Structure 1
Amino acid sequence: MAGPQINAPPLLVLDNVSIGYRAPRGHLTAVDRVSFTLAAGERLVLLGPSGCGKSTLLRAVGGFLKPSAGQIRLHGKTITKPGPDRMTVFQEFDQLLPWRSVLGNVRFALQRGNGLSRRDATDVARDWLGRVGLERFVDAYPHTLSGGMKQRVAIARALALRPALLLMDEPFAALDALTRRHMQDELLALCEDTGSTTLFVTHGIDEAIRVGTRILAMTPHPGRLAASFEVPVETRARGTPQFAALESHIQQSVFADSAPAHADA
């Protein structure tokens, strides 16, 4: 099982990044002077309330937004546009191609993104769909799937391309609480099995602890880094004193003046 490559150069570097927009009343700063690094094999969670700029940062890492100031570098090179080295899973269920089957969605991404032949893409797609428990649904179409199943397809499609960085923007927020917890556990197992490097956005402390190896908490308006929390392996199991202690510590340190930020509330 692969883990973070702590002694290697950082995979991702955000260097004093600010992101702003034009607004009716002038310039709006969404993200203000954010800096952090992400090591290969690490699962870094951006945690904060709505409006803190965490999804904005994720889109900038994906190459869909250009920082107003600062730099974002992947493998030492400045990110200027989207690329197959960064795959994103969103919370929306309509991110799949509705006219393609489950197998077709994953196969198409592999053919376009990795240049595989149809036969090779089919083999890889079937393997990944099996890993997420959808081997019996390869011929189904997105409109026949539940929300959790659609997210499994999206995760399989993203990981099948073997990206350098998996970007996840509150991918389970629209699911019911029980399905959400199952999906968090399945994602954790997949990431630990593959050694995937993940940048994960959430507003839920419970979810952040469960899926992350490190948590960066953000403050809103504009988004700045407020605190950093390491998540040891023994802390990730729900129901343990260690999990409860870290959850309470984050709540008191960052969200003491706001409503509880629980993903499963």
Structure 2
Amino acid sequence: MLERLNQAMDHIEGRIGGHPEESVDAAELARIAMTSEYHFRRMFSALAGMPLSEYVRRRRLTLAGAEVLAGERTLLDVAVRYGYSSGEAFARAFRAVHGVGPGEARRTGAALHSQPRMSFRLIVEGSSSMRYRVVEKDAFRLVGRGARVPLVYEGMNPAIVEFVKSIGKETLARWEEYADGEPGGVVAAVSNHSADDAEGTELDYFHGLVSEVEVPGASESLDVGAGAWAVFESSGVFPQAVQYLWRDVYTQWFPSNPYRSRPGPSLSRTRLSEDGTHADAELWIPVERDGD
């Protein structure tokens, strides 16, 4: 899988270098990687730490920046060469990446930002093992509370932390008593999130439990369709145990197993020790077999 991903990365470079004015087709990249476009985008954002579209934009403007400084083409020619319909649109995009406009960069020889070319390789890190199982599950319902929160690719998400605090420890403890199915206990669900969303884009976050009965304090519900789920478990130092689990799913498990992610909410459950230093984490990812 990693070899095919790197072949897709080579295709990106060939397209940007040979035909920089043309868009990069994500469906073609998925074909090269021999997977679905949905899974390719999810894999890429998990491995690269940014959406595919953002990486392509940064690479294209990195190459454009070199041409701006070289001074062999007019700024408008550079803009058109890299697919921008006007000098103004090019200047806005250029400034967003480099922090300076193309005209000023050419006049002053300003230092520009460079997005290095990416390639993927397998690195095994961490001291805890990753346990998993694949289960088929009928449709089920989550009850609890939901919120719109900004997307954060790295570190804690302050909006989620505050939202969970607003529910209250006593309410969460009561919810545990009503859980009557898998995944057990109180879980977090993230849905309606595209792998091509930029950081800061709002997504749907739900905190609740699997239950078919009315639960005190659970004012909303989320229906989850039937399908296969890859369920991962990990134990270790918090928060590294949780962070490594998400990372390892995409850098180790998917590349070496005949599955790909499918549309649907990702579910997670974290149990902390009393002192908050140790975590038992469980992660549910909706999957389907390659070729289905």
TM-score grouping bracket, smaller chain normalisation:
under 0.3
Ranked by relative contact order (alpha carbons within 8 Å, sequence separation 6 or more), the top structure is: 1
What TM-score does the superposition give when structure 1 sets the normalisation length? 0.28
What TM-score does the superposition give when structure 2 sets the normalisation length? 0.26
Q: Indicate the structure (1 or 2) with the bigger Cα radius of gyration.
A: 2
